[in-house]
Amino acid sequence: MNDLDYAQVRKNLGSVDRSPFGLSRRRFLQASMAVGGAATLLPGWMQDIFANATPLGPTEGIVVLVMMGGGVDGLNMVPPISDSAYYAKRSTLAVPAASALNIGNGLGLHPNLGNVKQYWDNGKTAIVQGVGVPSNPDLSHFTSMANWMMASNNPNGTGWVGRYLDSIGGDSLKVVSLDTNVPLHMVGNTSRGIGLPDDINGAMGVDQSHDYDLREYQGIRNFASAPTGLGVLADQLALVGQKTIDLGSQIAGAYVGPQPDNYFAKKMALAARLINLDLGVRVINVEQGDFDHHHAEQNPFNDRMAELNAGLGSFFANLSTTFLNRVTVVTFSEFGRRPNQNDSGGTDHGTANNLLVIGNRVKGGLYGVRPSLTQLDGDNNLIANVPYQSVYASILESWLHTDSVAILGTQYANLNLFESVGDAGASGNGVGAGTQAGLGSAPAPGAFSNMSAASGYWMSTAGGVLYRFGNAPDVGTAGGGAPIVAMTPTSDHNGLFVTRSDGTVQALGTATHHGDMANKQLNRAIVGMAAHPTGEGYWLLGGDGGIFSFGNAEFFGSTGGMRLNQPVVGMAATPTGKGYWFVASDGGVFCFGDAPFLGSMGAVHLNKPVVGMASSASGDGYWLVAADGGIFSFGDAEFFGSTGGMTLNKPIVGMNRSPGGRGYMFVATDGGVFCFGDAPFQGSLGGSTLASPVTALAG
């Protein structure tokens, strides 16, 4: 297909500007050569009846996509100010090193991105470098944008956000386009997002300022005041009128307040206010552009950058603190631009690009590899190293908490861009009160300095040999003694508590010893432990359900005096430190303090005994793991996979929640490691010869 200009692309991949929503799939479906056989695809985008407002839970993430149409010049957005090749190729267009906002690593930000610089300094901005299509990138706006929107080899004319919407029930209000049309990426198989006008006049029911409108709204509502007597279809028509007027009034509040002059800032303010209304919106798309600057790029690009900056500022200024930790802004564009400027003072279509991810729970920093400016592809373009789908996988898995493979068709690497959503994350990486002010107001430098350690883990054999993987720091050795039965890291991951069957506790690294049961009378051997969230204390668990608490860890009860069907095998503390669970080998769960009972396997016949447990980040759920790697999830602890159907060489002995909270890992007695969800695999002892079995995992 010949290339189209950007306006034409949006006409094809979106819709007319005239109406409160539009279609992309129909236009796209047949324009795309890739989807010829989609004969029986049900275009059910209108079957969602009407949008329902459903408030979100505190750990449900929200994404605002900034769609930079036309191909944003990522090289001038994040200029490589110490790379002479950049200045050689951009003789008049390069951002001078002196005016760029230096962010270290030889990079700057465009001088108009002052807000982004502040977010960067606060540790709230991830810059993903080299994003694009790693091989055979397409240089047409149409094909490239369509690929970014669809993000699947078998899209059936659907987009990745649309398929996500399908997966969460299809209520169209969960996916919102603020451009009075619904672009292709927000169209699913059975549902689609809703286009909300960026202006108060676009959707009946929104404008509440005129008495004559209110009278008419009431009239339309009244058509549904009783059955029509004309059958169910007529009743449905009356009802959808009423519901839509109601929806208009529900979203009306988002249109009240200062209206920035700039169209993008106005929409970003609207996006923030829409989120504040807590109607259940998960993804919002806001368009910015056109960025297709083939000619005289400098001035318009400077304007666009100022616009982006103002829009981000407007967004965070309008966003309620309630949502500050639950929202991430992600930019995207169909491609970057060519390193060499052209003869018209502009740049032509390129490939790999820089992409910004900004939010209070974003792990700030650089991701991906900066593409070389001298080793280019056959079109003199940058070579991408991060597939754009990886960014989506990261969002889907770690921020929207869903199965990325189901949506993208393939497992792409999770870039691990996010802390857990909301305030409930128990990973404790120093993102405390200081970060509340991180966006929109005072800087909170260094907020994520310790983050890297959390992605590593330790394991130990019964005999006391300690192994570490990934970024897990060297905390010393455990040595011999009674068999090691459990380990728990400190909240900063720089220390480790090691527990032995005789009740001995060792505090390694920065961990502080608060006492133990060494040399004391135990009815049953110690089988587990949990650290207090502060790291200043811990509980030890006996096989009879006896609890021994130390330091800040308080006693909330035990089964020490009860007769249990089966021995207790593991425990987990709640995020507050005000309670704990333990689990018996038959899957029975016992709750103490503020630990909620969310179900157990006590009455169910299990194939293999339960050997461990972990709580969800929120404390409103938990997983139990059986010796065969079967997983039983309860409450908000989601199922990310198991080895229940596999034949394992050796039994599983323990599990951990992942640092991101969106996954878990198991370890088997032979040191084999199994990672699910966002749990990063950093290595295992599988295949090694061990003097004694692995018995404990910490991470």
Partner 1 sequence: MPTSYGDVAHLLRRAGYAPTGAEIQALTASDIPTIVESLLDLSGAPGVSTPTGLNDPNLGDWEKWVSTTQWWLDRMRTTSKPLQEKMTFFWHNHFATSREKVDSMALLWQQNQTMRTNCLGNFRTLTLALSQQPALLLYLDNDSNEVGAPNENFARELMELFTLGVNQYTQADVVAAARAWTGYGIVGWNGTNVDYTYKFNAIAHDNGNKTFFGTTKNWDGPGIINEILSANLTKKLTAAKFIARKAWSWFAYPNPSNAIVDAVGTAFYNSDLDIKVLMRTIFNHSEFYSTTAKQGLLRTPIEFIVAMMRYMGISAADAHPEWFLDAMGMAPFTPPNVAGWKQNLYWVSSAAFWARADFATHMGWIATDNQNPKSNVFINIQNMGPAAATNDAFNTFGVNTPSIQTRTTLENWLADQRGGLYQGWVERPYMIRMISLTPEFQMA
Burial of 333 (0-12, 13-18, 19+ CB in 10 A): buried
Which of 479, 368, 419, 494 is closest to 658 using CA atoms? 419
When asked if residue 604 is in the footprint of partner 1 (CB under 8 A), the reply is no
Question: DSSP letter at 187?
Answer: B
Residue from the set 82, 154, 209, 218 that interacts with partner 1 by CB under 8 A: 218
Contact 612, 655 (CB under 8 A): yes
Q: How many residues bind partner 1 (CB under 8 A)?
A: 68
Judged by CB, which is closer to partner 1: 133, or 175?
175
Backbone angles phi, psi at 176, to 5 degrees: -125, 130
Q: Which of 104, 229, 378, 687 binds partner 1 (CB under 8 A)?
A: 229
**243 lies in the site for partner 1, by CB under 8 A:** yes
| Residue with smaller CB distance to partner 1, 36 or 645 | 36
Nearer to partner 1, 195 or 489 (CB): 195
Rounded Cα distance, 486 and 2, in Å:
63
* 562 in contact with partner 1 (CB under 8 A): no
Tokens 């527990």, residue located: 499
Q: How far is CA 474 from CA 457, 464, 485, 497, 509, in A?
A: 11, 15, 20, 13, 8
Q: By CB under 8 A, which span of 220-228, 286-294, 573-581, 688-696 interacts with partner 1?
A: 220-228
Q: Does 15 bind partner 1 (CB under 8 A)?
A: yes
Q: How far is the CB of 142 from partner 1 (least distance, A)?
A: 12
Find where tokens 């950058």 sit.
Answer: 305
- Tell me whether residue 4 or residue 352 sits nearer to partner 1 (CB atom): 4
Smallest distance from partner 1 to CB 25, Å: 7
Among 223, 263, 323, 467, binds partner 1 (CB under 8 A): 223
Residue 46 CB, nearest distance to partner 1 (Å)?
A: 5
Amino acid at 495: G
Helix pair angle (141-150, 6-13), 10° resolution: 40
48 lies in the site for partner 1, by CB under 8 A: yes
Binding of partner 1 by 520 (CB under 8 A): no
Q: Which amino acid, 593? A: G
String of DSSP letters for 476-513: ----SSSPEEEEEE-TTSSEEEEEETTS-EEEEET---
Exposed e or buried b for every residue in 273-307, given b needs 16+ CB within 10 A? bbbbbebbbbbbbbbbbbbbbbeebeeebeebbbb
Of 159 and 533, nearer to partner 1 (C-beta) is: 159
**Touching partner 1, residues 312-371 (CB under 8 A):** none
Q: Candidates 136, 153, 225, 565: give the one binding partner 1 (CB under 8 A).
A: 225
* Shortest separation between residue 410's beta carbon and partner 1, angstroms: 24
By beta-carbon proximity to partner 1, the closer residue of 45 and 592 is 45
The single residue among 167, 172, 318, 633 that binds partner 1, judged by CB under 8 A, is 172
Neighbours of 41 (CB within 10 A): 15
Query: How distant, in Å, are the alpha carbons of 144, 180, 576 from that of 632?
Result: 42, 43, 23
Three-state SS for 694?
Answer: strand
- What x/- string results for residues 16 through 35 when contact with partner 1 is judged by CB under 8 A? x-xxxxxx-xxxxxxx----
Is the Cβ of residue 5 or residue 502 nearer to partner 1 in the bound state? 5
Residue 29 or 466: which CB sits closer to partner 1? 29
**Residue nearer to partner 1 on the CB measure, 37 or 104:** 37
**What is the closest distance, in whole angstroms, from the C-beta atom of residue 201 to partner 1 in the complex?**
9
Pairwise CA distance, residues 349 & 448, whole Å: 36
Cβ distance to partner 1 smaller for residue 8 or 449: 8
Tell me, residue by residue from 173 to 212, as one string, x for binding to partner 1 by CB under 8 A and - for no binding. --------x------------xx------xxx------xx
Contacts 24+ apart (CB under 8 A), 198-201: 198/263, 198/266, 198/267, 198/270, 200/252, 200/255
- Does residue 219 interact with partner 1 by CB under 8 A? yes
254 or 569: CB nearest partner 1: 254
Largest CA-CA distance found in the chain, in angstroms, rounded? 85
| Site for partner 1 contains 234 (CB under 8 A) | yes
Q: How many Cα atoms are found within 13 Å in the side-chain-facing hemisphere of 173? A: 20
The answer to whether 350 and 336 are in contact (CB under 8 A) is: yes
User: Judged by CB under 8 A, which of 82, 105, 222, 534 binds partner 1?
Assistant: 222
Among 220, 437, 507, 525, binds partner 1 (CB under 8 A): 220
3-state secondary structure of 579: strand
Return residues touching partner 1 (CB under 8 A). 11-12, 15-16, 18-23, 25-31, 36-51, 157, 172, 181, 194-195, 202-204, 211-212, 215-216, 218-220, 222-223, 225-226, 228-238, 240-241, 243-244, 247
